[in-house]
Amino acid sequence: MDFRADIIIDALPLLLEGLGATLKLCLLSFLLALAAGILVGVLRSKSLFFQRLFAPYVEIFRGTPLLIQLFFIYYGLPSVGITMDNYTAGTLGLGLNGGAYISEIIRGALFSVNQGQEEAAKALGLNWFQSMVFVILPQAVRVALPPLVNAFSTIIKESSLVSVLAITELTRASQLVYTRTFRAFEIYLTVGLLYFIIIYSASLVSTRLEKRLNRFQ
């Protein structure tokens, strides 16, 4: 087999540019997913009304392919007068999809906290919001951290799908290089390694955070 390292060297600037776009897209999408997930998860854990209200959002985004969701947001919504650029559509699609999964992570973590903690907070004079922020959520974070890192890793891997919206992130950059070189082995091996480095780094950060939280606990 003729392995050509020069292909990787020549393609590296474009791939690194795509990597930067991927990281930016994933961070923005994860922040959106985290905000939506915490809001929906907390509300669904405390009220039957909110549980029923947000159930369609959670079930639809968990029960349909992300690719279809991206197509609907970018190509379908303009039919009803809602238009956005491809980058915004990609971020919104990834964020809302991730938020549906994170909401269930948060809800499960909240249920893992002993009911007596909330009763003790009320006895100290804390209202619902104060007890949630200062007592319940800090304990739930310790339980939710590993699956949240998994959710972030999933967003990174699924970000490759936004290439269909002509966003020049890592996967699309690799496709552009391939159309010029027709060297699939070198290009996609490099791209796979770059994705692995990002996800493995996130896993290492998660492990360190877990150790600190356990030490604090």
For the chain, domains (ranges, CATH) are 5-216 (1.10.3720.10)
pLDDT for residue 122 = 84
Q: For 2-35, b where at least 16 C-beta lie within 10 A, e where not — what string? A: eeeeebbeebeebbeebbebbeebbebbbebbbe
Q: Which of 29, 53, 214 is nearest to 139 (CA)?
A: 214
pLDDT for residue 88 = 95
Residues 47-70: what's their mean pLDDT?
94
The label of the residue with tokens 């971020």 reads: 91
Contact 211, 165 (CB under 8 A): no
pLDDT for residue 215 = 67
Residues 63-79: what's their mean pLDDT?
95
The rounded mean pLDDT for the chain is 90
Residues 167-182: what's their mean pLDDT?
91
Residues 168-180: what's their mean pLDDT?
92
Contacts of 132 (CB under 8 A, 6+ apart): 42
Q: Which of 58, 96, 92, 100 is nearest to 74 (CA)?
A: 92
Res. 182: pLDDT tops 60: yes
Residues 4-15: what's their mean pLDDT?
90
Res. 1: pLDDT tops 70: no
CA distance 40 to 123: 26
Q: Is 104 exposed, middle or buried (0-12, 13-18, 19+ CB in 10 A)?
A: middle
Q: What is the pTM of this model?
A: 0.90
Element (H, E) at 167: none
pLDDT for residue 54 = 95
Q: Which of 189, 178, 109 is nearest to 143 (CA)?
A: 109
pLDDT level of residue 216 (50, 70, 90 thresholds): low
**Identity at 48, one-letter amino acid code:** L
Give the CA distances from residue 148 to residues 76, 109, 124, 141, 144, in Å, rounded to whole numbers and listed in that order.
30, 11, 31, 9, 6
Q: For 57-76, b where at least 16 C-beta lie within 10 A, e where not — what string? A: bbeebeeeebeebbbebbee
pLDDT for residue 151 = 92
The label of the residue with tokens 């770059």 reads: 194
Residues 26-44: what's their mean pLDDT?
95
In terms of pLDDT, which residue wins out, 142 or 160?
Answer: 160
Helix pair angle (5-46, 86-112), 10° resolution: 50
CA distance 138 to 150: 19
